[in-house]
Amino acid sequence: MSAACDIRKRREIVFHPLPPGQIRRALDLLNALPGIKADEHGEVSLQIEYCIDVYCLEEIETLLWSNGFHLEGSLLILLKRNLAYYCERVQRENLDKPEPRTKNYPAHIEAWTKRPHGDHDETPAEWRQYK
């Protein structure tokens, strides 16, 4: 199972410079949510900390977009954002993954004995032998 440090994420959200005042409003919105800690990280960015059991970056940024915030859309930011989305999605799926089942060996042996064995290759014998 994952350790607590594996599921606690710290990410940066970069906003577009216009309209001004987005950072303060976003801080108020995000700090009102339980389990999210948001701090100012520059003129146009926030640093957030959250647990991926509860939130993921994609959900947080979708919440910001739906509330009228304008996030930065440069190519580098989009690549970082989508890589974080993918990594968190996979990690969340792996956290919910059940333990692998072990084989039911008696049933497996019984099925194996009923299956015909031998050479099932349809290739002619002269094609299978190199001379």
| Domain ranges (residues) in the chain | 4-95
CA torsion sign for 22, 50, 60, 11 is positive
CA distance 36 to 76: 25
Host H or E run for residue 14:
strand 8-14
pLDDT digits (tens, 9 = 90+) for 17-75: 998 989 999 999 999 999 999 999 989 999 999 999 899 999 999 999 999 999 999 99
Give the CATH number of domain 4-95.
3.30.70.100
72-126 pLDDT, tens per residue?
999 999 999 999 999 999 999 888 866 666 656 666 667 666 776 665 667 777 7
